[in-house]
Structure 1
Amino acid sequence: MTRLTKRELLVGSAALAGASIAMPAVLRAQAVVLRWADGQPMTHPSPQSAVKASAEVKDKTGGRIDIQTFPAGQLGSSRDMVESVASGALTMVTEGAAQLGQFVPQLSIIEAPYLWRDAAHMARALKSPLIDELNKALVEKRGMRVIGVNYYGVRHLTSGKRPINSVEDMKGFKLRVPEVDTFRAMAEAWGARPTPLNFSELYLALSQGAVDGQENPLPTIQSAKLAEVQKYLVLTAHIITPRLVIVNEAAWSKLSEADRALVRAAIDTAATWQDNEIITQENGLAESLGKSGMIVVKPDLESFRKPVLASLPAKFESKWGKGLWERIEAL
């Protein structure tokens, strides 16, 4: 066994002490850094809630766990960010359930059009054993885990040049949709021309007329300033969307059970704030967007609903699993 002389021990201790003084407190505590991405701009409640959760975790751990947030698609497209979490290059992302269908097909049903009766129905389902089953498949197949659920809002259409009063007006309409198969199928059922685009490209595409319109919840339309490049707000209410907070399973497993509970609690607290904020915004945004210059249209809702329900559930039954749609409807 190698023995240190007293002089060597003193010199080594002095060096360590000097280094300790020089290093920031967070580094001395060997902070665990978790990187959390989101495609939404900082004007939207979603990345704002991530900042709130991060601050709570940092405060309660004395900086020992440092959650760094990256809004506005800084770390890539929706698909890029989800794939980065799967590979471990990124720790966490907040993303729509349909985007995760590329990894676990059943998950995309959570964001299917006309599935949810209302936000309460969605919340009830996502607190049921259903989410545990879907989560188990996500962990086993792709090494990711759902650790939070946020209410994103009710999705509506916007149009740049013409009013949309019924589904008949959608024929040939170039509709921007997320890069997701269920959204494309919905647009096709309406007779529209689905144009998949990443969200970060949407404003420019609308301003240049590359697409005729898009669909998103009111707070997203507001935060992304889409009223500047869209004339008509069409209240179709075709999808009630949850967004999921996904974490890399290997990174999550490295945290102690107590730390995982603390992070979850902070995410849940921030999610409650976000849910309330989204609902508050939704309650007044249609009127507000109307006052800002958009023309608000209340279309024939059944004309939109009927062709989608006539085709989409059957088309995706093999992907989602037989009987899953009916099981969710019954909750």
Structure 2
Amino acid sequence: MTHLSRRGALGAFGGLAAAGLIGAPRLARAAEFPLKYGNNLPATHPLNVRAQQAADRIAKETHGRAELSIFPNNQLGGDTDMLSQVRSGSISFFTPSALVIATLVPVAAINAVGFAFRDYDQVWTAMDGKLGAHVRAAIGKVNLHAFETMWDNGFRQMTTGSRPIETAGDMEGLKIRVPVSPLSIAMFKALGSAPTSLQFSEVYSSLQTRIVDAQENPLPIIDVAKLYEVQKYCALSNHIWDGFWFVGHGRTWAALPDDIKAVISRAINEAGLKQRDDIRAFNETVQKQLQAKGLAFNRPAPDSFRARLRDAGFYNEWKGRFGEEAWSLLESAVGKLT
């Protein structure tokens, strides 16, 4: 899934890339603190454009003492590889999605609870507030340093071929493709759907031949994969939000001088805020493009979906998995779920 979307995103993000390209000329003098940062996105993605701007700022404000070298597009391996590398210290920094780092820190998946967030205001209230601090503390317990600003990976939306999704009742019996994620599978089962886990390479043909009737992904992937050719409707459900934690190897971070840490923290956190704006603007552009290609949009209210998940015991089950404290912090930002 991500490989296809990233390749297709190269042109779309070209304008942003012009603002700061990966691979810009490096300082001639060897840095006192060389730092390697790996991620799984192309150099032209807003995450890497903003990260390069942060790297330039770090070099400038530390007078060349610290240098952040960026390795995009899985150059250092896949997510599992890079998570292992940042834990061992063979790379200094990595940006795993919350669902990736949740394999190591289970509570990190709490932002992907179904229909928890109505909009970005609630997302950032939670993740910039006490819930984010709780997750960062849990990340710290596995000897990783998580920066305060979480970077955006977007909301997931649902598309269908036969009928629009207006309420939770429209989910009953719906054959929908989902990724291999226990949280996602549990959510769609609780909604009465028939979730099927398929490789992303199979999604287009499976929709075309009606093996499945629906799928769910962020809008840029729906566009790049041309799923509008085999789907008629898109519900802006915002049913799952995921983001990237910018994490560093704990001992590497602890060994840096305080003044270097301060520069890096400011640069990374402020770049993350700009990346959020980039993603939000890009999603608005993609929606207009998809509408022009014939995809019909609607915006279902989350209330009936939340009620169905509550009645099915979904929220109570995951409250037990994430723990009372984390769940309470989530509900303080989004309202009562259980």
Classify the TM-score, shorter chain: 0.7 to 0.9
Shift of 1:113: 1.8
When Rg is computed on C-alpha atoms for both structures, the one with the higher figure is 1
Q: Counterpart of 1:209?
A: 206
Question: Which residue among 173, 177, 193 is the counterpart of 1:175?
Answer: 177
How has the CA–CA distance of structure 1 residues 215 and 66 changed in structure 2, closer, same or farther, with 3 Å as cutoff? farther
Whether the 8 Å CA contact 1:98–1:112 is kept in 2: the answer is no
Unaligned stretches of 5+ residues in structure 1? 1-23
Q: Counterpart of 2:39?
A: 37
Shift of 1:156: 0.7
Q: Distance in 2 between matches of 1:230 and 1:324?
A: 40
Shift of 1:107: 1.9
Whether the 8 Å CA contact 2:118–2:302 is kept in 1: the answer is no
Q: Distance in 2 between matches of 1:133 and 1:115?
A: 17
How has the CA–CA distance of structure 1 residues 41 and 286 changed in structure 2, closer, same or farther, with 3 Å as cutoff? same
Count of aligned residue pairs for this structure pair:
298
Shift of 1:123: 1.7
Q: Counterpart of 2:92?
A: 91
How has the CA–CA distance of structure 1 residues 45 and 215 changed in structure 2, closer, same or farther, with 3 Å as cutoff? farther
SS in structure 2 opposite 1:240? Answer: strand
Q: Counterpart of 1:231?
A: 231
How has the CA–CA distance of structure 1 residues 209 and 196 changed in structure 2, closer, same or farther, with 3 Å as cutoff? closer
Shift of 1:260: 1.4
TM-score, normalising length from structure 1? 0.76
Unaligned stretches of 5+ residues in structure 2? 1-25, 334-338
Answer yes or no: is 1:139 the counterpart of 2:124: no
Shift of 1:227: 4.4
Whether the 8 Å CA contact 2:146–2:248 is kept in 1: the answer is yes
Whether the 8 Å CA contact 1:175–1:187 is kept in 2: the answer is no
Q: Kindly report the root-mean-square deviation, in angstroms, between the aligned alpha carbons of the 2 structures.
A: 3.0
Shift of 1:50: 1.9
Whether the 8 Å CA contact 1:26–1:63 is kept in 2: the answer is no
Letter in 2 for 1:283: E
Identity in percent? 21
Q: Counterpart of 1:51?
A: 52
Q: Distance in 2 between matches of 1:217 and 1:318?
A: 28
Whether the 8 Å CA contact 2:34–2:69 is kept in 1: the answer is no
Alignment of 1:154-173 (within 5 A): 154-159=155-160, 161-165=161-165, 167=168, 168-169=170-171, 171=173, 173=175
Shift of 1:30: 4.2
TM-score, normalising length from structure 2? 0.75
How has the CA–CA distance of structure 1 residues 316 and 208 changed in structure 2, closer, same or farther, with 3 Å as cutoff? same
Shift of 1:229: 6.3
Answer yes or no: is 1:315 the counterpart of 2:317: yes
